[in-house]
Amino acid sequence: MASGSGWLCWVLPMTEIRQNRAPAANPDQDFNPCAACTVRDLSICQVLDEPELQRLAEIASNLHFSPNDPIIDEGEQADYLFNVTGGTVRLYKLLPDGRRQITGFLNGSDFLGIALNESYAYSAEAIDAVTVCRFPRRKLEMLLDEIPHLEKHLLGVSSNELVLAQDQMVMLGRKTAKEKVVSFLLSLSRRQEASGGKASPVSLPMTRMDIADYLGLTTETVSRTFTKLKQNQLIKLVAGGDVVLRDMDALEEIAEGF
């Protein structure tokens, strides 16, 4: 989910993060929307120079979605790739009887649709108000041929996702409910930090049901686990559904099963 780490080499020139640009307003193709992009230096665009960015802008459109809007449907023809520029997205797969597994949450600067198959391997929905940058797949592929270091970067992103997927497997297959919930909170915390925020009040835009379907649990178990963590002074729930992590070290140990 987190983009950024390189594969064969670190292609990322870690320019400092410019946080204060205004969000892209209603975008049209008559100016370069990337210039105003708030996640540009965190996303795949960080490896592009001005002319390249211009090329990309020409094939991109900005879209936004309201809570629970579908963004892509599993099995649907994969005509577009996306870059999330704001809000939070859930990716999931369903079993025929309705059981759901959420495979990841995306937010600002995450790339969506990297699976370059004919059809999408999972569904994606907006959790809150979401903005994305959308690229027609065919055009992006052509662009990739012209910008080899972009392709290399995508390979890095992809291989990083693979590492995260394996952590996720350990979590789903071998951790207890408590360890799962704590791991989840810590991963959100690290993610917030990585994108320039604070580690501690972790924001939880998703519902308990989303969390449960991500962790392979039920809402009740997630809720009970939160309650126990509160009782143990390890977390605190505050306004807006945010969670304060009160003892990072203790939480880290719990997450790894010590």
Q: Return d(Cα 74, Cα 9) in angstroms, integer.
A: 32
Comparison of 33 and 90: residue with beta carbon closer to a copy of itself: 90
Comparison of 133 and 206: residue with beta carbon closer to DNA: 206
Q: Return d(Cα 206, Cα 204) in angstroms, integer.
A: 5
Question: Rule CB under 7 A: is residue 178 a binding residue for DNA?
Answer: yes
Query: Quick one: which of 47, 227, 247 has its CA closest to 153?
Result: 47
Q: Return d(Cα 44, Cα 35) in angstroms, integer.
A: 14
Minimum distance of a copy of itself from residue 178's CB (angstroms)? 13
Sheet with 80-86, strands from edge to edge, namely 61-65, 130-136, 80-86, 111-112
Minimum distance of a copy of itself from residue 151's CB (angstroms)? 6
Question: Rule CB under 7 A: is residue 70 a binding residue for DNA?
Answer: no
Minimum distance of DNA from residue 221's CB (angstroms)? 3
Q: Exactly one of 169, 209, 238, 244 binds DNA (CB under 7 A); which one? A: 209
Comparison of 74 and 242: residue with beta carbon closer to a copy of itself: 74
Minimum distance of a copy of itself from residue 124's CB (angstroms)? 12
Question: Rule CB under 7 A: is residue 241 a binding residue for DNA?
Answer: yes
SS3 of residue 70 by DSSP: strand
Comparison of 94 and 238: residue with beta carbon closer to a copy of itself: 94
Q: Return d(Cα 103, Cα 99) in angstroms, integer.
A: 13
Sign of the four-CA dihedral 229, 235, 236, 240? negative
Residues that bind DNA (CB under 7 A): 176-178, 207-209, 216-224, 226-227, 237, 241
